[in-house]
Structure 1
């Protein structure tokens, strides 16, 4: 049975695709994108533009098997349900004819780009067989086991952590753009984010100073069915870095998640290059608190001259 493609229809497709993502994350030792939190985050930030870009992949009998959409620089995000990953070859064949375009700045010609983990034992071989090669640009994914002992948070004097409050929203929106290259949201976007099924306000944590100004944040997304969570986005204001806020915010999030019965916490960190010789500040923090590498999601490239 072949794969066919159709536009995304908001509410029904959102729920069905969300369930496929949940099924995908039942294996705690494999990393996939998007998580439930990523799905809600992309949906909130993209709004109508995101909905218009998503293409639903389905079988001829109408069974939804996954979705595909272009992100920044036309790099494709693709996910399929665990039973349908073997059909990604057909999905990529369709995508290559639709999404070929000008190459990234450090390359030349016309190319198509796909995000994929090197560790993905189904997708990576498919991409290699189709003529793709990994770029030097990648996103790190780490995991920590919350069933082990977690240090108690110890914030510097004058700082504390709590769930976000309505009055914090303008401050958080203002500092997000300066943290890890995040796209600055608007209040409308953030309110849309808060309406997502995976969002829990008590896990939308902020670090505040003595003046109750937001200086750090962590959006924690709890996948209740799989007893896992992911932190994304996460950051601190530039003027308050190197004070231990990020480390202690992670410890605080871990303790709150342990109380909810979460066993594994994941974190992503994008914008990395294999050519970088030293880890950046964020990677040093993740290593220090005990995250171990679970996978690296690379941009894979293919020349359009190779497209049939």
Structure 2
């Protein structure tokens, strides 16, 4: 069994900030996103945690340059470093400590980071350390809605809803691979995700096509503390897009989440271009917050 001790602490900080300052929860620091990223990678990368009075108040994680082998046989060389972090607003002074650690850990290479656009203090501190706005279309947007008056889903004839608890692991993984190829996601990655705190097979939803293909899928991460659910990731097989399947799956997922105790839902999408955003808007989501991607050349 993998050791998820640090992840549980990081998720706890995310839950506290979600409860008091949800606009400061950036793209990779939400309850569900933390579990998804950790589960599929095994917690790879460098990280450091900061504590005050025995409670986690900040963390930083650095994904360093590496070579990634993907399902189509290709190899991707990642030459820069990506920095993820979260700081309790009550300990905002630790942003400089996090930045200093990141600078030392990823010295000499291009570095990118995604602070929340609402985090004025954090943005000032990253800028003071030489970070500049990244490409104008690199940002992502968080969308939200309450789980009241959720429309009933409707699938085309022959299609059906399934959950990962009902489907062989290979089929669940293939659904993700079909939607996101080229990808490094494997059955081993999926087993890591299944062990991550917050994962539930009955809240991992899929749509099965008449020929048995898993046409689309989404994992729903239920934060019971805040009674909110996060859809991440959401993907559809290219051959089954524009048939209303993902829309029906999102609605079905919201009904399942409400039955499990959620009152609120979120889902992220790229800011521009934004074909997925229109899908989420069609089922009642609206923009809540966004990140402000920054970069520092090596």
TM-score range, shorter-chain basis?
0.7 to 0.9
Contact 2:164 2:204 in 1 (8 A): yes
Please state if 1:17 is matched with 2:10: yes
Contact 2:8 2:197 in 1 (8 A): no
Change (3 A) 1:170 1:246: same
CA displacement at 1:63 relative to structure 2: 5.2
1:138 — aligned with what? Answer: 139
Change (3 A) 1:296 1:100: farther
Change (3 A) 1:162 1:56: same
Work out the CA distance in 2 between the residues paired with 1:138 and 1:20.
23
1:106 — aligned with what? Answer: none
CA displacement at 1:133 relative to structure 2: 2.0
In structure 1, list runs of 5 or more residues that go unmatched: 1-8, 103-110
Please state if 1:173 is matched with 2:173: yes
Work out the CA distance in 2 between the residues paired with 1:98 and 1:197.
27
Deviations 1:225-273 (A, max 9, x none): 1011100011111111110001111111111122233122111124x55
Q: How many residue pairs get matched?
A: 278
The alignment partner of 1:219 has SS state of: strand
Change (3 A) 1:101 1:288: farther
Please state if 1:37 is matched with 2:32: yes
The TM-score normalised by the length of structure 1 is 0.81
| Moved segments of 4+, more than 4 Å | none
Q: Which moved further from structure 2: 209-218 or 124-133?
A: 124-133
Deviations 1:180-237 (A, max 9, x none): 5673422122112111220111101010122333111010000001011100011111
Work out the CA distance in 1 between the residues paired with 2:102 and 2:157.
53
Deviations 1:97-139 (A, max 9, x none): 331334xxxxxxxx43211121223322322333322212112
1:249 — aligned with what? Answer: 249
Alignment of 1:217-296 (within 5 A): 217-270=217-270, 272-273=271-272, 276=273, 279-280=274-275, 282-296=276-290
Contact 1:28 1:264 in 2 (8 A): no
2:126 — aligned with what? Answer: 127
Work out the CA distance in 1 between the residues paired with 2:156 and 2:213.
15
Change (3 A) 1:70 1:262: same
Change (3 A) 1:65 1:123: same
Work out the CA distance in 2 between the residues paired with 1:178 and 1:299.
28
The alignment partner of 1:179 has SS state of: helix
The two structures, once aligned, show a CA RMSD in angstroms of: 2.5
Alignment of 1:176-191 (within 5 A): 176-180=176-180, 183-191=183-191
Counterpart pick for 1:80 among 68, 77, 87: 87
1:100 — aligned with what? Answer: 107
Work out the CA distance in 2 between the residues paired with 1:193 and 1:232.
12
The alignment partner of 1:116 has SS state of: coil
The TM-score normalised by the length of structure 2 is 0.83
Deviations 1:157-191 (A, max 9, x none): 11111212364321221231342567342212211
CA displacement at 1:28 relative to structure 2: 7.0
Change (3 A) 1:302 1:185: closer
Please state if 1:90 is matched with 2:97: yes
Deviations 1:36-75 (A, max 9, x none): 221211221111xx3452222345x765322211236411
